Amino acid sequence: MSEIELAADAEDDVYALDRETIREVRAAVEAEDQAALLAAMEPMHPADVADLLEQLGSGERRELIALLGDEFDGDILSELDEGLREEVIDALSPEVLTQAVRELESDDVVDLLEALDEPEQQETILDALEGSDRLAVEQAMSFPENSAGRLMQREVVAAPEHWTVGDAIDFMRSTLDLPEQFYHIIIVDPRYRPIGYVTLGKVMSSDRVTKLVDVQEESFRTIPFDQDEEDVAYAFNQYHLISAPVVDDDGRLVGVITIDDAMNVLSEEHEEDLLLLAGVGDESIADRTLQIVRQRFPWLLVNLGTAILASIVIAQFEDVLQAVVALAVLMPIVASMGGNAGTQSMTVAVRALATRDLTGSNGWRVVRRETLAGLLNGMAFAIIVGIVGLVWFGMPMLGVVIALAMVINLVVAGLAGVLIPIILDKVGVDPALASGTFVTTVTDVVGFFAFLGLAGAILL
Amino acid sequence: MSEIELAADAEDDVYALDRETIREVRAAVEAEDQAALLAAMEPMHPADVADLLEQLGSGERRELIALLGDEFDGDILSELDEGLREEVIDALSPEVLTQAVRELESDDVVDLLEALDEPEQQETILDALEGSDRLAVEQAMSFPENSAGRLMQREVVAAPEHWTVGDAIDFMRSTLDLPEQFYHIIIVDPRYRPIGYVTLGKVMSSDRVTKLVDVQEESFRTIPFDQDEEDVAYAFNQYHLISAPVVDDDGRLVGVITIDDAMNVLSEEHEEDLLLLAGVGDESIADRTLQIVRQRFPWLLVNLGTAILASIVIAQFEDVLQAVVALAVLMPIVASMGGNAGTQSMTVAVRALATRDLTGSNGWRVVRRETLAGLLNGMAFAIIVGIVGLVWFGMPMLGVVIALAMVINLVVAGLAGVLIPIILDKVGVDPALASGTFVTTVTDVVGFFAFLGLAGAILL
């Protein structure tokens, strides 16, 4: 297959990077032609430049950055995959880095600092900032990691509760430094505690004499500064918020979070769950070979442990296997079906826990339902594999053994698939992280034990 | 474990439904006390009421809906899980349904109609709408399914390119029916084609004489009406859009999509990928037992097919297994490790395809990297399992056999894990849907074949 054939279909992927652009960029880097490079990159959004850097090999990446020189746009750093930021920052000259960091909004600098492991790089970036910017970033960094306080912007537009629409309009039109992005006016009480908010659209469409509180949005929620960002993202998605005020311990307004930040958190959180469920840590397509080897080794080691556990179970039945070699042929079927059924139940449960749809009030109903579903599918597949066992090896009792083992293992799979994530969640472990290993261990062990144990009892 | 112990921790789940509220709701339903029910539900957002309905058993659900009577809020229908909507609509009286539907915005009615399979229910809902509302909904339904046209709202605020900030303010303040939610003024050319947009915040903070085009946002994108909603969600997330104009084939403005709708699509799309990867279709925690049995059966049947394929491979080596029963004990280890490593590579690849980070320009690099990573982890685990085989069974050559099989299977796992999703994507099959089955089939077959084949060649 040639490189062209491996390429994604242009029609399918409207927002994928244009192949022609990538070729031009590469040619310009090869020819060390800065003018051609800037021309090729001119129409690209910083997010697309970041994607481009992620898709290049690390040598080409450094060459491109060097050729860009002081034309490197600071926003590219914010858009870059976290795993690549340190490498790219290392590749920038101190002057370019300083200039790039100064171009960023303070919440983007905070996000950048959070992703860096090396204290020296953090220090370099803080040093690039001037007076008040540095102070704002340092204050944000004093909030707990992954909290609302780190996510929020500090610039807000607030109005006292007695203000009219006219007061608000006059205020906004006379204020020189309104925030870059804002969609609501937050109404605060005399102690600066938010009590409601009004959309700018409502302000525009109401009479000047209307009181702000009379046109405020029906649904209104404040977010505590120390709330976990995943909860913040959930609230935005659940309650269709566009922006929400952040308050301190006394309920006073300290900042505002907008939906685009929440959307970003939601997207990262989903990615994390997906990768964790598959036994991959925080990995990206741009990581280097040794990084991914190191990243995946521990998960495979845990899997080896559980596989050896299953082998120990099998070893208990060496005499049975010696007597009926057909058992060795069929035994992976029971384990594999159990593993699959368990993964199905588990994924639904992990997802429902993440979306708060699986709670104390329906926990037992879901456990009962999964167990019953395991029983019903178990009986259906018992008939099928029973016939397979009978026809293939001509031994009726072998069919009975595999059928019974199938029922047992699918019931256990349904039960384990939902109980294990619930229990992990209760004891404070991320169910996406560890459920998979536990569930397949249970279905492997039970699968081999039930099949070989029943075979020993019935066939010998 | 009691029901209380199964409950989620209140501290962990700030937005989970309050247990006390659920208890009050249930008590009110039991006592058929409408006043108490309304009192208990008063502070609940429609999204929370929908979650509550999803968590009840289906009998209790019907009782609650009956007791609510005409206090049923139409927004609850939009917030409900798609799988439950038909059941809840069936439970509503025709009068309550009519009233509920009339309360909804037209884009929410479209979303509701899309989720209904029964034509009679669709007809009932359309009949509930009056004149212009019905027309708007029918026009939206004429756009392709899951397209931008269905997602957009038709109400927009547009301004000619020669307008000043003052013109825009005067226009908005004199227009009676501005849209419920809007954040931008879209600038259009004389043929009503969008050429830029201005945030309301910018309008508020600029002089009346400033031209709108002079304060328009730097980055501006229009969305074709027939673009797939997943691409729309991607664009919002990639380019940090808050709202975006939708255009027809001639580039004329026909509507606007806001970020909250895009966030919803993003969230549903992630859920779909996660469930598909686990071999569960479009399932929800509120589904009934028979639904999930029927839903999961086909996936398990496919898995049974691949498991039997693996068994057929094993059956070719019955004589080898007969001679060395230790092989039966160890053989699941090689297959299991291959399955795990393959799933790791596959998940990273599927995710990168979804986020357009895996493309023609880095496809071969990723394939090479995954294969090399498989080789390196394969060699590391070859040493470990080689020692296990040697120590456990005291047969040095058995250690060699399992070590070699491990290297082969992990290399194949890395290669298959990334190539299979890329190929499926190219031929137009959703890689999340089918990759898992193919990858584990390959690693099972190769795992058993390599281990037992090498054993036959080396040990016998």
The DSSP secondary structure of A401-457, one letter per residue, reads: HHHHHHHHHHHHHHHHHHHHHHHHHHTT--HHHHHHHHHHHHHHHHHHHHHHHHHHH
In angstroms, the separation between the Cα of residue A452 and the nearest Cα of chain B is: 12
Q: Which of residues 353-392 of B touch A (CB under 8 A)?
A: 353, 356-366, 369-370, 372-373, 376-377, 380-381, 384-385, 388
User: Is A300's CB within 8 Å of B341's CB?
Assistant: yes
Beta-carbon contacts of A243 under 8 Å, excluding residues fewer than 6 positions away, are A182, A183, A184, A197, A256, A257, A258, A259
- Mean pLDDT, chain B, integer: 90
- Mapping DSSP onto H, E and C, the string for chain B reads CCHHHHCCCCCCCCCCCCHHHHHHHHHHHHCCCHHHHHHHHCCCCHHHHHHHHHHCCHHHHHHHHHHHHHHCCHHHHHHCCHHHHHHHHHHCCHHHHHHHHHHCCHHHHHHHHHHCCCHHHHHHHHHHCCHHHHHHHHHHHCCCCCEHHHHCECCCCEEECCCEHHHHHHHHHHCCCCCCCCCEEEEECCCCCEEEEEEHHHHHHCCCCCEHHHHCCCCCCCEECCCEHHHHHHHHHHHCCCEEEEECCCCCEEEEEEHHHHHHHHHHHHHHHHHHHCCCCCCCCCCCHHHHHHHHHHHHHHHHHHHHHHHHHHHCCHHHHHHCCHHHHHHHHHHHHHHHHHHHHHHHHHHHHHCCCCCCCCHHHHHHHHHHHHHHHHHHHHHHHHHHHHHHHCCHHHHHHHHHHHHHHHHHHHHHHHHHHHHHHHCCCCHHHHHHHHHHHHHHHHHHHHHHHHHHHHHC
Choose, out of B155, B208, B230, B292, the residue to mutate when testing the contact with A (most A CBs < 10 Å): B292
Beta bridge partners of A247: A224, A253
Judging contacts by C-beta atoms under 8 Å, the chain B residues touching residue A270 are 267, 270, 274
- Segment B260-314, tens digit of pLDDT: 889 999 988 888 888 998 888 778 888 889 989 999 999 999 999 999 999 999 9
The pLDDT of residue A13: 63
The pLDDT of residue B205: 84
Choose, out of A336, A350, A372, the residue to mutate when testing the contact with B (most B CBs < 10 Å): A336
Q: Which of A344, A400, A353 is nearest to A377 (CA)?
A: A344
For residue A309, pLDDT beyond 70: yes
pLDDT band at A211 (very low <50, low <70, confident <90, very high): very high
Q: What is the mean pLDDT of residues A12-36?
A: 85
A370 or A139, higher pLDDT = A370
Beta bridge partners of B158: B186
For residue B204, pLDDT beyond 90: no
pLDDT band at B2 (very low <50, low <70, confident <90, very high): very low
Nearest CA in chain A to B19: A361
Residue percentage of chain B with pLDDT more than 70 = 97
pLDDT band at B13 (very low <50, low <70, confident <90, very high): low
Q: Which of residues 426-445 of A touch B (CB under 8 A)?
A: 426, 428, 444
Label the pairing between strands B243-247 and B253-258: antiparallel
Q: What is the mean pLDDT of residues A259-271?
A: 90
Q: Which of residues 203-232 of B touch A (CB under 8 A)?
A: 204-205, 219, 227, 231
In angstroms, the separation between the Cα of residue B25 and the nearest Cα of chain A is: 12
B236 at interface of A, judged by CB pairs closer than 8 A: yes
For residue A5, pLDDT beyond 50: no
User: Is A283's CB within 8 Å of B348's CB?
Assistant: yes
A21 at interface of B, judged by CB pairs closer than 8 A: no
User: Is A360's CB within 8 Å of B264's CB?
Assistant: no
Handedness of CA A221, A226, A232, A234 (dihedral sign): negative
| Domain spanning A158-277: CATH superfamily | CBS-domain (3.10.580.10)
User: Is B237's CB within 8 Å of A264's CB?
Assistant: yes
Label the pairing between strands B194-199 and B184-188: antiparallel
In angstroms, the separation between the Cα of residue A279 and the nearest Cα of chain B is: 6
User: Is B332's CB within 8 Å of A444's CB?
Assistant: yes
B284 vs A20, B89, B236, B322, CA distance in Å?
43, 18, 26, 47
Nearest CA in chain A to B288: A369
- Strand order of the sheet with strand A194-199? A158-160, A184-188, A194-199
Q: Which CATH architecture has domain B289-459?
A: Orthogonal Bundle (1.10)
User: Is A57's CB within 8 Å of B365's CB?
Assistant: yes
Judging contacts by C-beta atoms under 8 Å, the chain B residues touching residue A277 are 274, 277-278, 347
The pLDDT of residue B118: 81
Judging contacts by C-beta atoms under 8 Å, the chain A residues touching residue B409 are none
Judging contacts by C-beta atoms under 8 Å, the chain A residues touching residue B230 are none
Extents of the domains making up chain B: 3-142, 158-277, 289-459
Q: What is the mean pLDDT of residues A362-379?
A: 94
| Beta carbons of A269 and A230 less than 8 angstroms apart | yes
pLDDT band at B9 (very low <50, low <70, confident <90, very high): very low
Token digits for B267?
Answer: 């969230």
| CA B139 from centroid of its chain's CA atoms | 26
Q: What is the mean pLDDT of residues A204-214?
A: 91
Q: Which of residues 249-268 of A touch B (CB under 8 A)?
A: 259-260, 262-264, 266-267
Judging contacts by C-beta atoms under 8 Å, the chain A residues touching residue B19 are 360-361
In CATH, which of 1.10.10.10, 1.25.60.10, 1.10.1660.10, 3.20.20.70 is domain B3-142? 1.25.60.10
User: Is A9's CB within 8 Å of B426's CB?
Assistant: yes
In angstroms, the separation between the Cα of residue A260 and the nearest Cα of chain B is: 6
Choose, out of A3, A4, A12, A14, the residue to mutate when testing the contact with B (most B CBs < 10 Å): A14
Report helix, strand or coil for A224: strand
Q: Which of residues 129-158 of B touch A (CB under 8 A)?
A: none
For residue B6, pLDDT beyond 80: no
